[in-house]
């Protein structure tokens, strides 16, 4: 039996310990805000926080998630008013929006460690998150807005 905390709630899981956290969140908990994009840690669509750090949930087994604190996009804020979410809305970042949960979770983690990121910091932190619609320029803008740094 694996125990973990998801968005503040205690959860128990007795299935395949090799199952990626992603599919536990999506199929079993129905927290579908976290997306599947590649299943190989290459695109960042499945990014969640594990004990406060950004991880790829498609590469995190349930075994590895045991005893940990998981935060998904659904748990980031009660009403979509996290500063990063607000900055995303202000810049009208999403096009199709599919990758944006992962982008936002990655950006939140970046700003925790680097509250005033440079362009280089943003490139480094965000290059694992693919947006096929090509919203990168607005993602960069939104991160700067949330950080209160000028473009």
Distance CA 84, CA 105 (A): 9
Which position has the token pair 């005893």? 67
The correct pick among 13, 29, 34, 71 for binding other proteins (CB under 8 A) is: 34
Whichever of 5 and 36 has its CB closer to other proteins, that residue is: 36
**Which of these segments, 49-57, 63-71, 75-83, 107-115, binds other proteins (CB under 8 A)?**
75-83
**Which of these segments, 49-57, 63-71, 91-99, 108-116, binds other proteins (CB under 8 A)?**
91-99
The correct pick among 11, 32, 69, 149 for binding other proteins (CB under 8 A) is: 32
Please give the helix or strand (H or E) that residue 70 lies within, else none: strand 69-71
Distance CA 130, CA 14 (A): 33
Q: Is 136 in the site for other proteins (CB under 8 A)?
A: yes
Q: How many CB atoms lie within 10 A of CB 32?
A: 14
3-state DSSP of 98-125: CCHHHHHHHHHHHHHHCCCCCHHHHHHH
**Residues pairing with 58 in the sheet:** none
Q: DSSP label at 143?
A: H
The correct pick among 29, 54, 122, 147 for binding other proteins (CB under 8 A) is: 122
The correct pick among 83, 114, 128, 149 for binding other proteins (CB under 8 A) is: 128
The correct pick among 4, 109, 139, 147 for binding other proteins (CB under 8 A) is: 139
Distance CA 19, CA 15 (A): 8
Residues in contact with other proteins by the rule CB under 8 A: 15-16, 19-20, 23, 26-28, 30-40, 42-43, 45, 72-74, 76-77, 80, 85, 88-89, 92-101, 104, 122-123, 126-140
């Amino acid at each position: 039996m694996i125990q973990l905390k998801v968005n503040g709630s205690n959860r128990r899981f007795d299935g395949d310990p090799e199952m990626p956290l992603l599919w536990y969140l999506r199929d079993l908990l129905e927290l579908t805000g976290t997306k599947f994009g590649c299943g190989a840690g290459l695109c960042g669509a499945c990014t969640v926080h594990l004990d406060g750090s950004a991880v790829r949930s498609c590469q995190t087994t349930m075994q590895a998630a045991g005893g940990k604190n998981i935060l998904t996009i659904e748990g980031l804020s009660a009403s979509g008013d996290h500063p990063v979410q607000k900055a995303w809305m202000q810049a009208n970042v999403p096009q199709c929006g599919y990758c944006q949960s992962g982008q936002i979770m990655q950006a939140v983690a970046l700003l925790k460690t680097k509250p005033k990121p440079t362009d280089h910091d943003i490139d480094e932190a965000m290059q694992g998150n693919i947006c096929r619609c090509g919203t990168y320029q607005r993602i960069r803008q939104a991160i700067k807005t949330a950080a209160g740094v000028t473009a």
